[in-house]
A and B are shown apart, each in its own frame.
Chain A
């Protein structure tokens, strides 16, 4: 596994600008959310008081960042992501969705199997056997030995 082709090559400037815009939008969402909350008075601040200050501050700070970025003249390209990186993130989200419905061992076996097949390039049978054995071993260690609550298989 060596260096892999990046999916995107945005500039540092555009990355900073997008981040500033996202942060500004979060600030706006916080300010909109505050509208329904009781603000109280200055002597007895309510639940909406502090978040409204933070929302304003975040909007101002992200606007300042955006302004600084827009004034910058030069920028470098930043290589971002490859197939392995995006798929790892997505597979983790899929694992979260399957974790309780399938139970620990089958869902984690699928998760490990994905890496063994796609990253290491093993044969299907090797992947299935190794992944199931590893998932079973982890379940035994964490659930039985260490007492960590993990979802059992209930659908079999």
Chain B
């Protein structure tokens, strides 16, 4: 009852004309950046981040979250019609979605994708709404010792679930933690690793780093090979799915939703993994697994549902624990911090309008996305007819505006360029950059909780293991390491890329 009352309050906030407008701008921009290769939700959020500085915190987070889940909808359109994933999570949708389009069934693929996304997106918001307040209440009891154990667990999970081998991921995590130590020491005010440059007192710019590593590096990768593409254009009438399409999609959507929600909770498990998992499950349980890859509706419905379900549930670790599960939610965390809102267990108590306003806006935004995506599909596809040489400066100039707007510093533009080149090289050599970015975000708090815990306990390391919360976190950590070690011992672990090739 209390939840419904709070949701009602949230709806009153989300349905104000201004917040509706911001939500609309967010989902529209999100769809656009999802459609266009080379920008994605990270770039999309970063670009509009400076614009939100003058807004109230709730409006800002409503708009930025709209970009995040809007991009997931947009990515599927180009996967189905062009065989080009607008963002990484839509790669799986290409397999059967494009084959359906080639057989003249682009319409049903788009409709099922949109409806599946809507169902999964809404379900994940329900989970967020029901689960987050209870978890936050429990998390209010944790101290610095438990907080450190929790973050250690998050980083260990991150190292094992990464798409790269552990030996490549652990140095990336440590590099992220090392970068996080740049700037003023939060306890003593001592300047660390600033090399005499006052601009680094607040640390290395997070926005230029993220835009460089993910946005610019993707543009540079795309500059290697840009082939001309032919879009398949569905007519409005062909959008109507058959009854059998709806029937065959119901199960995959339900299973994809469940997979997506579960994967969203785990730090570092990107949308990509949940979509591949959903596809694998559908293929495994299908009576006709041999037909997957030739245009099965289940191959579109499941992964698209998983993709959008992950979006909602990935907000749980951010809003309740203050731990961003993926780089996009790390940017949302930056936006909240800029507005003086600290994500974590106290968020729901201290800023209920932000939490419930966001939840309510996500229901509204999901409805907007279904309405937007189907009739406007032709317009979005036509965007891809624009030659890539025009898109490159456009995306880069928008990124420059976003990066410069945060601190009004040209050093951030140079940092973006440098991280772009570093990101390009890391991509080429198959290093995963998400653990690096998440470690940068967690590093500061991890050090603070570590030092605070040692100070409170007067140097006793038992503070990290004595409480039941710590024992749960560290127990989970030990189990994960043991499972991984066992898998390695019996040779289940995939070999590093260079050995396979």
Contacts and interface: CB of A to CB of B under 8 A. Distances in A.
Contact of B389 (A1, A30, A150): A1
A115 B393 contact: yes
Contact of B420 (A50, A92, A108): A92
Contacts of B404: 99, 148-150
Contact of A89 (B420, B431, B459, B498): B420
B181 A50 contact: yes
Give chain B's interface residue range (CB within 8 Å of chain A): 35 or more
B397 A58 contact: no
A19 interface: yes
Nearest to A135: B397
Interface hub of A13, A27, A142 (most chain B Cβ within 10 A)? A142
Nearest to B172: A23
A88 B220 contact: yes
Contacts of A92: 216, 396, 400, 413-414, 416-417, 420
Contacts of A144: none
Main secondary structure of the interface of B (DSSP, over half): helix
Interface string A32-75: 01000110011111111111001101100110110010001111
Contacts of A135: 397
B54 A93 contact: no
Contacts, number: 201
A136 B54 CA distance: 23
Given A78-B428, A99-B413, A138-B401, A111 B220 contact: no
Contacts of B420: 89, 92
B167 A88 contact: no
A61 B414 CA distance: 29
Interface stretch (B182-190, B239-247, B251-259, B278-286): B182-190
B178 A12 contact: no
Interface of A: 1-4, 6, 12-13, 15-16, 19-20, 23, 26-27, 30, 33, 37-38, 41-51, 54-55, 57-58, 61-62, 64-65, 68, 72-76, 78-82, 84-85, 88-89, 92-93, 95-97, 99-100, 108, 111-112, 115-116, 119-120, 134-135, 138, 142, 146-150
The 8 closest A-B CB pairs, nearest first, are A43-B459, A92-B417, A47-B185, A96-B413, A96-B414, A15-B429, A148-B405, A119-B389
Interface of B: 50-51, 54, 167-168, 170-171, 174-175, 177-178, 181, 185, 187-188, 190, 192-193, 216, 219-220, 223-227, 387-390, 392-393, 396-398, 400-402, 404-405, 408, 410-411, 413-414, 416-418, 420-421, 424-426, 428-431, 447, 450-451, 454-455, 457-459, 496-499, 501
